[in-house]
Amino acid sequence: MEGLRDIKGLAGIPDYSLLYIVAIVFIFAIIVFLIYKYFTKPKYIFKVLSPKELAFKELKSINLDDTKSSVYTFTQNFTYFDDSDEVRNFVDSLEIYKYKKDVSNLSQDDKEFIKNFISRISL
């Protein structure tokens, strides 16, 4: 009996199966999340308007019956479309409507000029 040896203890065997399972679950979760985000994104996205588009929108909505408001709106937004001397002179002639408390209505010629200007502009 002296030739018998004692039984050795359990040898540690490296086992990475838990790491593999966690990695697979993590990758699967990322894939599910990306698929969810792809299918739940908004169907439409609001377009941010450029300053020129905003000016175009404001010029199209000018109410020529309200003299002061229409003159201010026109003078703020005309430069995006036409900055010629003809239009500059016209804007200078509109100064009489801007800085007074009570102003008269726009003349028919001024209304026609503004209408023609608005009708010929485009984006």
Domain ranges of the chain: 51-120
Buried (b) or exposed (e) across 78-113, using 16+ Cβ within 10 A?
A: bebbeeeeebeebbeebeebeeeeeeeebeeebeeb
> In 3D, which of 113, 93, 96, 115 has the Cα closest to residue 104?
96
Other residues' Cβ atoms within 10 Å of the Cβ of residue 12:
6
**The pLDDT value given to residue 22:** 96
Bigger pLDDT: 94 vs 41: 94
Overall average pLDDT of the 95-114 stretch:
86
Overall average pLDDT of the 58-85 stretch:
88
pTM score: 0.60
Residue 26 has pLDDT above 90, yes or no: yes
Q: How far apart are CA 75 and CA 59, in angstroms?
A: 10
Bigger pLDDT: 46 vs 106: 106
Overall average pLDDT of the 54-68 stretch:
90
**The pLDDT value given to residue 1:** 60
Per the CB < 8 A criterion, the answer to whether 87 and 121 are in contact is: no
